[in-house]
Amino acid sequence: MDLPPLADLLATARVVALPLVTRFRGIDIREALVFEGPEGWTEFSPFVEYDDDEASAWLEASIDFGWRKPPAPLRDAIRVNATVPAVDPDSVAAVLARFPGCRTAKVKVAGAGTTLQQDVARVRAVREALGPEGRVRLDANGGWNVDEAEHAIHAMCEFDLEYVEQPCATVFELAEIGIRTKYLGIPIAADESVRRAADPLFVAEAGAADLLVIKAQPLGGVHRALSIIDAAGLPVNVSSALDTSIGLAMGAHLAAAVPSLEYDCGLGTASLLAADVTGSPLFPENGSIPVRRVVPDPVLLDRHEADDERAAWWLARLERVYEVLAERE
């Protein structure tokens, strides 16, 4: 796809700083840059620690969603999971209440400064809250080595786990833990080994994962992500990167075009935000979010506008990353 002029991106660009309900991924504020293209509003929000080269896929995705028509949808709503940060067991019920109707919960484990005992207590509280018919999955964000992962999976397999997401950091570790725990029948999912990999298909080709977690922004957009899904030939869970509702709309359009969705998707994360850019956020309702475009509210854009220093940082980043894409043209 040809790049639109940088001036077209900057013309409507707004930088927002949205507070989170609970500290998540080590942050209390989620910053994002949103702008409008011919097809509608879109989002550029790579995490602040990512360099310009890694952020370039996120900008490709933003342009793809703002300047290119999405694929024809196969469904008009997407079932989503609840996301439980590394909270105390006593806080689990309040977190799940923010995801009405969700039958699945993804529980963060292996966080810095948390113990396996704390993880087990949190997962137990989630299982008790959801009941025996609920679905519980773990997300370790690559936080364990192989021995730690094996020990942790054994410690939590009693909770009837749907799968374990990125238990270890590398593809070879994922393959090893899959072998060690195969007899337990708990699938291994790959996230970082897809979205942060030089070759997002390597983990599938290596047979190191049973399913892939697919995120639109880190993978260059809806159309490129669909090509990765097709080439990988594995089940997928379409998930978010703690986006605003504009970014979640991008993920919803991706999920809507996936031929088969066996798993509830990680696109309910508007519930983790204490504020959003729209008065009609993509909150889960009856366990699903609709597939639709999101238009920001000018009042909310003003209310949650980042301060001058942070706005300047994001606009300068946008220009640098745009140059990275332009050099590849």
User: Which sequence positions are flagged as catalytic?
Assistant: 108, 215
The answer for residues whose C-beta is within 8 angstroms of residue 326's C-beta and 6 or more apart is 3
CA dist 209 and 28 (Å) reads 31
8 Å CB contact between 134 and 106: no
The answer for residues whose C-beta is within 8 angstroms of residue 220's C-beta and 6 or more apart is 57, 60, 61, 64
DSSP letter at 261 equals: -
Q: Please give the full DSSP string across 100-124, using - where no structure is assigned.
A: TT--EEEEE-S-TT--HHHHHHHHH
CA dist 3 and 285 (Å) reads 36
CA dist 132 and 155 (Å) reads 18
- Token look-up 């897809």 returns 194
What are the backbone dihedrals phi and psi of residue 69, each rounded to the nearest 5 degrees, phi first?
Answer: -65, 135
139 is in an annotated binding site: yes
- Token look-up 């998707």 returns 265
What does the angle CA 234 – CA 206 – CA 227 come to, to the nearest 5 degrees? 40
Beta bridge partners of 209: none
52 is in an annotated binding site: no
Give the annotated binding-site residues for Mg(2+): 139, 165, 191
Binding residues: 139, 165, 191
